Structure 1
Amino acid sequence: MTESTLAGTTLLMSGGSRGIGLAIALRAARDGANVAILAKTGEPHPKLEGTVHTAAAEIEAAGGHALPIVGDVRDDDDIMRAVSETIGAFGGIDIVVNNASAINLSGTLDLDPKRYDLMHGINARGTFMLSRAALPALLETERPRILTLSPPVSLDPKWLGAFPGYTTAKFGMSLATLGHAAEFVDRGIEANTLWPRTTIRTAAVQNLLGGDEVYRRSRTPEIYADAAHAVLTGNPRRRNGEMLLCEDVLADAGVTDLAPYSPGVDPDDLNPDVFV
């Protein structure tokens, strides 16, 4: 892996109470990074583990500095408060990680307007607005970075036709990030997306995408965390406006053995992600 470090850098992340976002936060924390998390779960959820406060405690225990912010990435006031509090606590923002996401794989006729609005409000709009709100601070730092956890954009009908509501919400995240990469390329912004080739062991996979069996055949969130770390610590300006896959990023960093990310699972039995 890269020898670079996130020590002393400040990340502002949407979501992150659990799963992939928390794994990325903990990997940064082991370097000694500052991590601010904007997430809705301030109190324990009956069906989901973790809150923004338990995540903050884990980040501190891992060696980082945490700022838990209870708020909704769909709310512009919460977004601006998160940016302001992060700057107040840590003096600036170096990295935005657009992690928060909602999923519903219903077909068009079965997807009610509220669910559609929820996905697009969190995924596409939330990504755009959090990045937008943080940009003035990002542009004042030495190496500003935006990393969005969203898939490569594809016009393949098998994806567009499978679940258009969710697909367009996730592609909206990617398009917003590619747009910011192009718009601010002359001002030093590094903005990329990152996505896995297989499903990841998260609550969403277990509860919505196939239950215990698909969960077992998925990779651990650490593959996402290590790939994100490699992107965020790589050579400055090497990557910008790219739609990256975790496995390709790790291979580029010299990691060829991915077995530790799926203990007990034959590589041929891994469950492929829906967008790859």
Structure 2
Amino acid sequence: MSGLSGKTLFITGASRGIGLAIGLRAARDGANVVIAAKSGVPNPKLPGTIHSAAEAVEAAGGAALPIKLDIRDEQAVAAAMAQAAERFGGIDILVNNASAIWLAGIEKTPMKRFDLMQQVNARGSFVCAQAALPYLRKAANPHILSLAPPPNLDPKWWGPHTGYTLAKMGMSFVTLGLAAELGSQGIGVHALWPRTVIATAALAMLGDTVQPRFCRTPEIVADAAHALLCKPARDCNGRFSIDEDVLREAGVSDFSGYAVEPGQPLLPDLFLG
């Protein structure tokens, strides 16, 4: 398939970071990008809003629809999907990018934070997929792509932060289940995860232990997502892809341009290995 021109992507958490990068890559093809995120007004602690993201998407060559959205609210999600479909004539791709993170053990995880992670990560992905389904069924090459790791039950990933691992693996198991349920309908349900830590605002949640210079930029995930979303949906269904592997399949062998500081050692991301 040739590019994402004319396709409509509904991307959650797209006001910054990986979600925005995926939107900008699609915009370069001439795609329609729905920027669904909570950041309606500037936050001194976090860069970017749905409005600044929309401006960037349009500057990159795409059409943008910013929607202030909390994906925990299923009625608001359904209304946002309807608004997007009315504006652009349908929805071709859902990108479940929105995620909440808290890397701490049981004693240092407030229940409010635990609940937020479960509601945004696993439940939010399910809610968005459910609301998008009527529109995806009408699309020519429908995808649901979630930013989630390959399912992994190794205790080393669970012991240090059970709450977060449960929430993130919850996204993975939602992907696994929906792929089994929807794949026969021609909807490609799959996931993508980075090989290394990506320099985003979420790094602040990791404290001083992770410095951006040891990370890659969000563009590597965006380029990998683009490569996947340009494939026939049936070829992607049920896959848990790693960004490097996808790009190697696409003929990319030099990843140095994605480094925040080329030459620095790169930190592997969680849940791999």
Provide the TM-score with structure 2 as the length reference: 0.97
Asked whether 1:221 is paired with 2:218, we answer yes
Listed one character per residue, the Cα deviations across residues 123-171 of structure 1 (whole Å, up to 9, x for unaligned) are 0100000011100110111111000001111111100112110001001
Q: Distance in 2 between matches of 1:264 and 1:114?
A: 36
Structure 1's 263 and 216: CA in aligned 2 closer, same or farther, altered over 3 A? Answer: closer
Mapped pair 1:274 → 2:239: no
* Matching residue within 84, 98, 101 for 1:100: 98
Where 1:24 maps in the other structure, the secondary structure is helix
Q: What's 2:89 paired with?
A: 91
1:244 aligns to 2:241 (yes or no): yes
Equivalent-residue separation in structure 1 for 2:201 and 2:116 (angstroms): 18
Alignment CA distance shift 1:84-1:265 (3 Å)? same
Q: Alpha carbon RMSD of aligned pairs, Å?
A: 1.3
Q: CA deviation at 1:112?
A: 1.4
Match for residue 124 of structure 2 among 126, 129, 135: 126
Question: For residue 35 of structure 1, what is the aligned residue in structure 2?
Answer: 33
Identity of matched residues, %: 54
What corresponds to 1:255 in structure 2? 252
Inter-CA distance 71–263: structure 2 relative to 1 (3 Å threshold): closer
- In structure 2, distance between residues paired with 1:202 and 1:212: 14
Match of 1:113 in 2: 111
1:223-265 deviation line (CA, Å, top 9, x unaligned): 0000000000024422210111000000111101000001533
State the secondary structure of the residue aligned to 2:67. strand
Q: What is the Cα deviation at residue 107 of structure 1?
A: 0.4
Shift of 1:46: 1.6
Equivalent position of 1:197 in the other structure:
195
How many residues were matched structurally? Answer: 272
Instruction: In structure 1, list runs of 5 or more residues that go unmatched.
Output: none
Find out whether 1:230 has 2:258 as its counterpart: no
Give 5+ residue unaligned stretches, structure 2.
Answer: none
TM-score (normalised: structure 1): 0.96
Alpha-carbon separation, structure 1, partners of 2:165 and 2:183: 27
Per-residue deviation, 1:210? 4.2
CA distance in 2, matches of 1:264, 1:87: 40
1:6 aligns with 2:4: yes
Q: Post-superposition, which runs of at least 4 consecutive aligned residues in structure 1 deviate over 4 A?
A: none
Q: 1:98 to 1:213 in 2, by over 3 A?
A: closer
